[in-house]
Amino acid sequence: MTFSNARESIKSAARRLGLYEPLRKGKDRIFRTLRDSPPIIRWGLKRLLSFPKSDIERLSREFDQERLWERIMSRVAETARRDPGFHPSTSSPFNLRTLYVLCRILRPAWVVETGVASGASSWVLLTALSKNGKGGLRSIDLPPSQWEPAKSAYKEIDPVSLPAHRKPGWLVPEPLRGRWQLILGDAKAELPRLLEGLGRIELFYHDAEHTREAMLREFRAAWAHLASGGALTSDDVGWNTAFDEFCAEVLPKEAGRWFSFGLVLKP
Ligand SMILES: C[S@@+](CC[C@H](N)C(=O)[O-])C[C@H]1O[C@@H](n2cnc3c(N)ncnc32)[C@H](O)[C@@H]1O
């Protein structure tokens, strides 16, 4: 019996005994508690980013001073209390802090992200651009309500919703919106068009459809437009083999992952 056969047999036995869901939820809770604990976040940031430690520490302190994570969480929690149908799905505190630090260090002219939902990552990236005093963010999001019926199985695995009567990116504060354009549509069609128009970008964040095909497609498209020294980042790199396949394909000088976050720097 192979390892994966043994794993499947254990899973189906657990399902029969009604233990699968409680065990899965427990494992997920442990994963999140570890991933989101401040000492582990600080450690991961220094392990993942190869920039001078003093810059990473200074910019990470700046992220704390902006109280970005606390402000995002308090608005999300307050809205979820009033709207029980809202299933918030924001990037993790590690992802958001890392995106902030990267955006401050790279001082990009253009940042592109796929997957906005309520807009936590957009808020963080726009704050970093505003601190830089330069650069723009272009985001692509296909609102959950517009997913094709063909994607209903995927929706089960990655349930995301917006609060009632809210548009994607509703979290983003008004004063930050001057540097932002939000494109509503499927990244499959919109991303190549957007990249063609921008020409060159310095930072890319994938947080949309986490299927192998969609992730590989987005990574390849963004890489072709990424400037030398630019960063390609992604959430949920553990969901499938796309990130590892992509790294093997482009053989970057620097690539790494921390929990669900992946980073590749273009030589
Ligand atoms: C996990 S949420 C994004 C969270 C966001 N980055 C944050 O930090 O708050 C994923 C979003 O991607 C959108 N999405 C899924 N498939 C997409 C596609 N093919 N093209 C564009 N957006 C997509 C979903 O509707 C959802 O709004």
Residue of the nearest CA to atom 14 in ligand 1?
Answer: 208
Q: Which of 124, 145, 180, 209 to mutate to test the pocket of ligand 1 (most atoms within 8 A of CB)?
A: 209
Q: Work out the mean pLDDT of the chain and round it to a whole number.
A: 93
Place of tokens 């001073």: 65
Cα angle value 16/210/13 (rounded, 5°): 10
- CB of 137 within 6 A of ligand 1: the answer is no
139 Cβ closer than 6 Å to some ligand 1 atom: no
pLDDT (tens digit, 9 = 90+) per residue, 209-218? 999 999 999 9
Residue 124: count of CB within 10 angstroms of its CB = 27
Q: What is the mean pLDDT of residues 237-246?
A: 96
CA 201–ligand 1 middle distance (angstroms)? 20
Give residue 134 CA to ligand 1 midpoint distance, Å. 25
For residue 115, how far is its CA from the centre of ligand 1 (angstroms)? 3
Walk across the sheet containing 261-265 and list its strands.
180-184, 136-141, 110-114, 201-206, 226-234, 261-265, 254-258
Of all residues in the chain, the percent with pLDDT exceeding 90 is: 75
CA 140 – CA 50 distance, rounded (Å): 29
Question: What integer is the mean pLDDT of 9-25?
Answer: 84
The answer to whether residues 214 and 239 touch, using CB atoms and an 8 Å cutoff, is no
Q: How far apart are CA 56 and CA 188, in angstroms?
A: 34
Give the 3-state DSSP-derived string for 181-234, with helices as H, strands as E and coil as C.
Answer: EEEECCHHHHHHHHHHHHCCEEEEEECCCCCHHHHHHHHHHHHHHEEEEEEEEE
pLDDT digits (tens, 9 = 90+) for 176-235: 999 999 999 999 999 999 999 999 999 999 999 999 999 999 999 999 999 999 999 999
Q: List beta partners, residue 110.
A: 136
Tell which atom from ligand 1 comes closest to the C-alpha of 89.
1
The arithmetic mean of pLDDT across residues 45-59, rounded, is 96
Structure tokens at 217: 């497609």
Quick check: CB of 144 below 6 Å from ligand 1?
Answer: yes
**What confidence category does residue 150 fall into, taking pLDDT thresholds of 50, 70 and 90?**
low
Q: From the CB of 76, is ligand 1 less than 6 Å away?
A: no
Question: Among 12, 30, 97, 26, which Cα is nearest to 59's?
Answer: 97
Residue 136 amino acid letter: G
- Residue 105: other Cβ atoms inside 10 A: 18
Query: Which residues contact residue 132 at a Cβ distance below 8 angstroms, ignoring those fewer than 6 apart?
Result: 103, 104, 107, 108
Going by pLDDT thresholds of 50, 70 and 90, the confidence category of residue 245 is very high
The fold of 48-265 is Rossmann fold (3.40.50)
Cα 123 to averaged position of ligand 1 atoms, centre (Å): 14
Q: What is the 3-state secondary structure (H, E, C) of 244-267?
A: HHHHHHHCCCEEEEECCEEEEECC
Range in 18-32, 48-62, 138-152, 225-239 the model is least confident about: 138-152
Q: How confident is the model at residue 253 (pLDDT cuts 50, 70, 90)?
A: confident
Would the CB of 140 count as within 6 Å of ligand 1?
yes
Tokens of 21: 């869901």
CA of 142 to the centre of ligand 1 (A): 7
Nearest residue (CA) to ligand 1, atom 16: 209
- Three-state secondary-structure class, residue 203: strand
Burial of 221 (0-12, 13-18, 19+ CB in 10 A): buried
Whether the per-residue pLDDT at 5 is higher than 90: the answer is no
Query: Is the Cβ atom of 121 under 6 angstroms away from ligand 1?
Result: yes
- Integer angstrom CA distances of residue 238 from 93, 211, 234, 261: 17, 11, 10, 8
Gap between the Cα atoms of 161 and 183, Å rounded: 18
Average pLDDT over residues 30-58: 94
